[in-house]
Amino acid sequence: MEAPAEANTGLSAAPHVVLTREAGKNGKLLAMLAARGVPALELPLVETAPGPDRDRLPAVLGTGRFDWAVITSPESAAVFLEGWRSAGCPQVRIAVVGVGTGGVLRAAPEAARLDIAFTPSKADAVHLAAELPLGEGQPSARVLYSASSKAGSDLQAGLAERGADVVRLNTYSTLPVSSLAPAALEQARHARVVAFASPSAVKAWLKLAGDGARHCSAACIGSTSARAAERLGFERVYFPDAPGLEGFVASIMDALDSKPLAAP
């Protein structure tokens, strides 16, 4: 797939910031940056594809045997909703990793029928695994984890250590786009900040823009993307304590305030 060349900004000069989320998911971020006078270029680097377990989700949900369903990203929430509807909207307690993920569920027409019962103190898999109420001293809690194929094992490992019986379904995956419009890519290479919302986007940026593209600052939506950027050689990485759009914008602004590195 070739990413769209449109930037939704009409920029002719180099943008300050490149936004790399999937097509259609950058609108709010573009508007928030525009309100702060920050020129930004929308350059989707990843796309979402069905995972190997996606078709199993409705049947597994329909068994009604789970104490919790845990959801760790907005995309996972959207996929969960689709499977939950196909299963006939069964009753299940839901734990969400953070505000953004919960917001997808609360915006659904059936929100009143969704039992969103838990959010951890910090929006990451480690805190969710450590803090999810499991009813210690009772039989093992059964937890359904609808995940990305690319997600790590921190959540299920942490829950299993606490005695939970975790069923993981890889219901979606994030794939890099295969190519970019040359003019848009050249424009993006001159940006001061590239904003990432997934490790897949970090990898796609370096693959498509080249190793020299590390001279820009990386502004990340959360710690998972930030760790990926650091591992892949970015020297300046910014991310918020709590993932979400407000924190994402704050990290972008912090990155813009830093002194640029010299381009190679």
Question: Which of these, 264, 196, 188, lies nearest to 230 by C-alpha position?
Answer: 196
Residue 10 lies in a domain: no
Encode pLDDT of 114-156 as tens digits.
Answer: 999 999 998 889 999 999 999 865 668 999 999 999 888 999 9
- What pLDDT does 140 receive? 86
Percent of the chain's residues with pLDDT above 70: 91
- What pLDDT does 14 receive? 66
Question: Which of these, 13, 39, 24, 47, lies nearest to 204 by C-alpha position?
Answer: 47
Based on the fold, state whether residues 90 and 148 are members of the same structural domain.
Answer: yes
Name beta bridge partners: 115: 93
- What pLDDT does 258 receive? 78
Based on the fold, state whether residues 33 and 87 are members of the same structural domain.
Answer: no
Name beta bridge partners: 46: 176
3-state secondary structure of 18: strand
Decide: residue 136, CB within 10 A, 0-12 exposed, 13-18 middle, 19+ buried: exposed
- What pLDDT does 261 receive? 55
CATH number at residue 133: 3.40.50.10090
Residue 6 lies in a domain: no
Q: What stretches in the chain show pLDDT beneath 50? A: 1-12, 264
Residue 1 lies in a domain: no
CA-based R_g, the chain, Å: 19
Q: What are phi and psi of 117, to 5 degrees?
A: -110, -10
Encode pLDDT of 54-63 as tens digits.
Answer: 999 999 999 9
- What pLDDT does 211 receive? 78
Last residue of a domain, one of 141, 173, 205: 173
Question: Which of these, 240, 234, 197, lies nearest to 217 by C-alpha position?
Answer: 234
- What pLDDT does 51 receive? 96
The boundaries of the domain holding residue 27 are: 17-45+177-257
pTM above 0.75, yes or no: yes
Number of independent structural domains in the chain? 2
Angle of helix 245-257 relative to helix 27-35, nearest 10 degrees, comes to: 50
- What pLDDT does 56 receive? 97
